[in-house]
Chain A
Amino acid sequence: MEPTGQAYGKAGYGVDIQGERIVVVRAERGRARVTCNVVRAEDRLFQGAAKQGVPVAAVLGPRESITQWLEVAFGARAKALKVLPTVLDIQLPFAVEQCAYGFTAVQRTTAGRTRALGVAARFADVERKLARLAQAGVDPVVLDHEGLALWTQSLEEMPGEAAEAGPAAKRGTGAVRVVAYRGVERETLVVGVAGEYRGAHAVRLEDAAQVRRLIRAAAGGDVQRVSWWWAGPGAEDQAACEAVIAGLRQDWGDGWAEGRNCMVAVHREPATFLARALATRLVTPGAWRCNLRTGAFEHPALARARAGSTTRALALALAAGLVLCAVNLAVSALVRERVGAYEAVLVELGQATAGRALGAARGAQAVLIAKRQVEAQRRATEPYRRYSEPRLTGLAGAIIEVAGKQAVTVESLVLKPERLSVSGCGPGWESAAPLVATLEARGFTATVDREAALADGTIPFSVTAEARHE
C-alpha cells in the first residue's frame, strides 16, 4: 500500500452491502469536482466495470481490520517505511506475515521522528470478505478500510473542524468529530480530533458507556467539543438516533449539553454515504487511502496494470538506453567524419598548393611544406610580378610635372623600384612639399632636407623616399 494514495482512475464504483441490499455508487471526477450517482447493482455498466477497467471498491469493517498509529525513531521516510512493518508486528495480536497491511498519513514529527497510520487485515478475513462479495456478484479491485472511508468522506462533505488540523490535533485538543455509521448488520464508530483520524471501532451505539470510553480514549481524555455525524441506512431512523444521543447525554452529563459544546447532525443521503465514500476515494488522490486486497489476493486487473506499467517503464528505459547509445554512435561518427573531411580538404589543398603529393605529411607539417613551396614560387615569379607592376615612367612623369608647377629646378632624379631621390632648388621653403605629398600618395615614405638659401634666393633641397611595404 502506498503511503499517499493515488487515484485509480477518473471513474469508480463504491459498494456497501447492507444485509440483502447492495448499494452501489458511481463516482466520476470532473475538472473541479466529483459527481456521485447511485446505480443499481444490476446496472450493465457496473457489471462490466472490470472489463472496462473501471475499479470497484468494497470495505473491510473494524471487526475485520485494524488501524494503529505508529511512530519510529527515524526521520528518513524510506528508512522509516522499512522499520514500520516490524513495529506494526509488535502491535498486532497476530503475525504481520499473515496480514495484508500498509501505511498511510506518513509524516515527520517535530522531534524528527516518523509517524504513520498502519492499516492491517488478516488474509483469512480478506479471503472471507472476498468470498462474501463474490456471492453477491461483486469483485472489488480495492478493499478499503471502513473507518478511513467514513472519516475522509465526512470531512469531504462537511469540513468543519478539519480546518483546525495541525497543532491542535498534535496536542490532542480541539473539536472531536465522531462519525457514527448505523448499518443493517453492524455499527461503526469513527473518532478523530481536529481533522485527524484517531480510530474506528465496531460497537453497539446504544452502549453509551462503551461509546463514551472510546471517544475519551481516542481524544486523549480531554473532550471539549463534539460534533457527531450520523451516516448509514440506520441514520434515517430518527427515533433510534435520538435514543442513542439521549443515552450518551445521560451518561456523560453536562459535557453533552447540545448547542453549547455538542452538535449532532446527519450526513446527506446517509444510506449511500459509505458507498459514496468508497467511490470518491477511488477517483481522488490523497492521504488516508488504503487497499487491503494485496499479495495473493490482489485483483488480477491491478496486477496486470502494475505489470504493464513495469513493462512499459522498462521498455521506456530500454528505449532510452538504446537512444543514448545511438546518439553516442551518431556523435562519434559525426566527429570522426568532420575530422576526416578537414584532413581530406587539407591534403587536397596542400597537394594543389605544393604541386606535389604530401606523402605522410599531415596537419601543421603539410601547411609548412605548402608554405615553403609558395615562398619558392613567390621568389621564382618575382620578375614576372615586377614586370606587371605599375611602371616607373609614370612616377617620373608625375615628379617632373609637380616640379614644373612649383617652379622647382630638378638637378637630379634617381628612380629605382624601391627607392627614389630628387634634388634641386625651389623658390620657397615649402617648394618641395608637393613632391613629398605626391610620393606619399604613391606608396613611398619621403623625407626632405633643405639647405640655406642661395644667392638668387632659391632653397636647395633633396627628397629621399623608400617604398612602403604594407
Chain B
Amino acid sequence: MSRGTERGIGIKVLVAIAVAIWVVGVVWSAGTWRLLAEESARVRGLASEVATMRALAVEAAGYAETQKRVQGVAATAPVALAGVVGERITGAKVDQTRARRQSLGDGWALHEQDLVFDEVGIIEVMGLVDELEAGQPPWRLEALEIRAAAHTPGVGQVSLTLAALQRDS
C-alpha cells in the first residue's frame, strides 16, 4: 500500500472520528438543552422551597429562643400572691376566685390566678400589679377589669388575672 493511500485512509478515519464526535456532541447538546429546560424549572422550585424553609427555620429559632429566654427568667418560683396582696392592699375585700394550671411540657407549667378587689383604690391595685410584674420571676397581667364606684372617685371594683410560668418541682 502506498504512503498516499495510507494517508488517505488515515484522513478518512480522522473524518469518521470527527463526524462521530460531532454527532455525539450535537445529540448530547440537544439532551443537555432539554435537561437545562427541565432542571432550571426544578432549580427554581427548589430555590423557592429553600427560601421557604429558611424562613421557617428563622421562625422556629425565634420560638425556641423566646422559650429559652422566658424559661431563664422564670427559673425560680414567683412570689406568693396571698402574702403580697395582704401586705399591700389593706381595708379591702380580696377574693382569690380561681386558680388554674396549664402544663407546657418539659416540666414547665403556666399558673393563672384571678383576683377580685371590692371597694379598693384603683391606683393602689395598679401599683400592686406594677410591683408583681417587676418581680423576678414576674407575674404578668393577663386581664384587667375596673368598675369605678358611682360616687367615690378613684375607688371601685378591680378584677385581675395574673399569670406566671413555673417549673414544676
Q: Which residues of A contact B (CB under 8 A)?
A: 307, 310-311, 314-315, 317-318, 320-322, 324-325, 328, 331-332, 335-336, 338-339, 342-343, 345-346, 349-350, 352-353, 363-364, 366-367, 370-371, 373-374, 377-378, 380-381, 383-388, 391-393, 396-397, 400, 409-417
Distance of B70 from chain A, by nearest CB (Å): 4
Contact, CB under 8 Å: A324 / B39? no
Given contacts A321-B18, A380-B104, A417-B142, contact A342 B29 (CB under 8 A): no
Within 8 A of A (CB), among B122-143: 122, 126, 129-130, 133, 140-143
Taken together as a complex, chains A and B put the C-alpha atoms of A332 and B30 apart, in Å, by 12
Tell whether A318 pairs with B25 under 8 Å between CB atoms, given A366-B49, A381-B63. Answer: no
| B110 part of interface (Cβ distance < 8 Å) | yes
Tell me the minimal C-beta distance from A287 to chain B in angstroms: 31
Q: Is the interface of A mostly helix, strand, loop or mixed?
A: helix
Q: B25 — which chain A residues lie within 8 A by C-beta?
A: 321-322, 324-325, 328
Residues of A within 8 A of B116 (CB): none
Q: Which of B42, B143, B147 is the one whose CB lies under 8 Å from A339?
A: B42
Q: Which residues of chain B are near A393, meaning CB under 8 Å?
A: 126, 129-130, 133, 141, 144
The answer to whether B18 and A314 touch across the interface, beta carbons within 8 angstroms, is yes
**CB-CB < 8 A to A371: which residues of B?**
56
A331 touches B36 (CB 8 A): yes
Report the separation of the CA atoms of residues A61 and B163 in the bound assembly, to the nearest whole angstrom. 121
Taking a contact as CB atoms under 8 Å apart, the answer to whether B60 and A377 are in contact is yes
Q: Closest CB-CB distance, A46 to chain B, in whole Å?
A: 29
The answer, yes or no, to whether B59 is at the interface (CB within 8 Å) is yes
Assess whether B24 is in contact with A383, with CB atoms less than 8 Å apart. Answer: no
Q: Assess the A339–B66 pair: CB atoms within 8 A.
A: no
Contact A412 B142 (CB under 8 A): no
A388 adjacent to B36 (CB under 8 Å): no
- Chain B, residues 78-115, CB within 8 Å of chain A (1/0): the string is 00000000000000000000000010110000100000
Q: How far is the CA of A350 from the CA of B54 in the complex (A)?
A: 9
Are B45 and A363 in touch, CB under 8 angstroms?
A: yes
Min C-beta distance of A257 to chain B, whole Å? 61
- Could you tell me if B67 and A384 are in contact, using CB atoms closer than 8 angstroms? yes
Cα–Cα distance between A272 and B103 once the two chains are bound (Å): 117
Q: A353-B56, A397-B126, A416-B143 known; A318 and B18 CB under 8 Å?
A: yes
Besides A321-B25, A350-B53, 19 more A-B contacts (Cβ < 8 Å) are A322-B25, A325-B21, A332-B35, A335-B43, A345-B50, A349-B50, A367-B49, A373-B60, A381-B63, A383-B163, A383-B165, A385-B63, A386-B140, A387-B110, A388-B69, A392-B143, A397-B126, A400-B126, A410-B148
